């Protein structure tokens, strides 16, 4: 079989024209404003860090989660978690108002267990409110917050929310979840945690809980030595447990960071760069732009946190995640 050289030459000419056309199309798309703000593009994977504590009540995290409407019309759950021990309280609420958060923090946590050194939350209006800040000021609590639209900044509460939802999903009486929640939380607090190796109850209160099974089996231990000896022994055991839990938590966090950071591809953006911010429209937003068309300029940066200001006109600077 012989090739028709005229057809071959014509094919080569068309191929060269296609290459030129393809380049022009790519350049047009790269400079098209509608393409820039309308398409999400490649998702950037950033470095991951964990929020760590060394002792109970050093950092307490709070978060709201919403479930299906249950008995009494309840659908909100305020989750309060001690970062070090993982000890958690989950209280159903009728709303997510700041007054509700302040009342529960005071009645269900501070009065029962003491004021934390630091209170950590997302930037929801329920938590970033004058009432909450005044409560923290009264009890000498430092208030910190995550960056907007970055749930990983409050990962301990988010992890408990997932556990709680998975457990409630298995019940055949889903509308009664407000009644079942206390027992679920108690079981969670009495179970050894995969991160610390101890139950949240033990690390928080310094002793294991007495559960009905202990009474049935008669496994409760009797104290056979003097009070002073018991106090010394108890202190040493608790100190050893705290050290072990802190060391194990750091190792677990480092292991997670190493695994998650293997696929990191977040190119650093220098100060002065012009950027768009991600759009987060509420409700039905299937065809909304992925990016806000208002341009910003980077004025400061610290690791994955960037401080930006509007490029045109006036506006307050804001901190955003890469």
Q: Which has the minimum average pLDDT: 12-16, 26-30, 73-77, 249-253?
A: 12-16
- Taking all residues of the chain, what is their mean pLDDT, rounded to a whole number? 81
Judge contact between 110 and 139, C-beta under 8 A: yes
Q: Which has the minimum average pLDDT: 21-30, 66-75, 105-114, 119-128?
A: 21-30
Beta strand 305-310 pairing with 118-121: unpaired
Report the distance separating Cα 79 and Cα 56, nearest Å.
Answer: 17
Whole-structure pTM over 0.75, yes or no?
no
What DSSP string runs through 212-270?
Answer: HHHHHHT-PPPP-S-HHHHHHHHHHHHHHHHHHHHHHHHHHHHHHHHHHGGG-------
Q: Please tell me what DSSP assigns to residue 170.
A: T
Q: What is the mean pLDDT of residues 299-320?
A: 82
What's the pLDDT tens digit per position in 92-108? 999 999 999 999 999 99
Q: In the chain, where are the structural domains located?
A: 59-209+228-261, 273-321
What's the pLDDT band for 39 if we cut at 50, 70, 90?
confident
Domain 59-209+228-261 has CATH 1.20.1730.10: no
Give the list of residues 6+ apart from residue 173 with CB closer than 8 angstroms, or none: 180
What per-residue confidence (pLDDT) applies to 78? 94
What's the pLDDT tens digit per position in 177-218? 999 999 999 999 999 998 888 999 999 998 888 877 776 776
Other CB atoms within 10 Å distance of the CB of residue 73: 8
Q: What is the mean pLDDT of residues 289-303?
A: 82
Residue 55's φ and ψ, nearest 5 degrees, are: -155, 165
């Amino acid at each position: 079989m012989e090739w028709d050289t005229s057809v071959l030459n014509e094919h080569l000419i068309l191929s060269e024209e296609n290459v030129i056309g393809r380049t022009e199309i790519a350049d047009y798309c790269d400079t098209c404003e509608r393409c820039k703000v309308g398409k999400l593009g490649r998702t950037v994977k950033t470095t991951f860090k964990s929020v760590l504590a060394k002792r109970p009540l050093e950092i307490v995290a709070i978060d709201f989660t919403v479930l299906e409407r249950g008995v009494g019309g309840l659908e909100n759950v305020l989750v309060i978690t001690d970062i070090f021990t993982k000890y958690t309280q989950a209280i159903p609420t009728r709303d997510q108002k700041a007054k509700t958060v302040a009342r529960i923090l005071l009645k269900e946590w501070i009065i029962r267990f003491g004021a934390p050194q630091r209170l950590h939350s997302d930037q929801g209006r329920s938590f970033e409110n004058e009432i909450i800040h005044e409560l923290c000021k009264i009890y000498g609590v430092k208030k910190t917050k995550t960056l907007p639209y970055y749930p990983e900044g409050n990962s301990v509460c988010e992890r408990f929310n997932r556990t709680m939802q998975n457990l409630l999903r298995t019940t055949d009486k889903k509308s009664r979840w407000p009644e079942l929640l206390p027992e679920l939380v108690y079981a969670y607090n009495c179970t050894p945690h995969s991160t610390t190796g101890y139950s949240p109850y033990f690390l928080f209160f310094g002793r294991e809980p007495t559960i009905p099974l202990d009474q049935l089996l008669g496994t409760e231990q009797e104290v056979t030595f003097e009070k002073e000896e018991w106090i010394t022994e108890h202190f040493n055991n608790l100190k050893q447990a705290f050290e072990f839990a802190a060391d194990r938590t750091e190792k677990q966090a480092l292991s997670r960071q190493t695994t998650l950071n293997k696929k990191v591809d977040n190119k650093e953006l220098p100060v002065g760069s012009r950027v768009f911010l991600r759009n987060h429209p509420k409700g039905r937003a299937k065809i909304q732009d992925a990016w806000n068309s208002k341009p910003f300029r980077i004025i400061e940066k610290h690791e994955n946190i960037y401080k930006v200001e509007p490029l045109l006109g006036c506006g307050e600077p804001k901190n955003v995640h890469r």
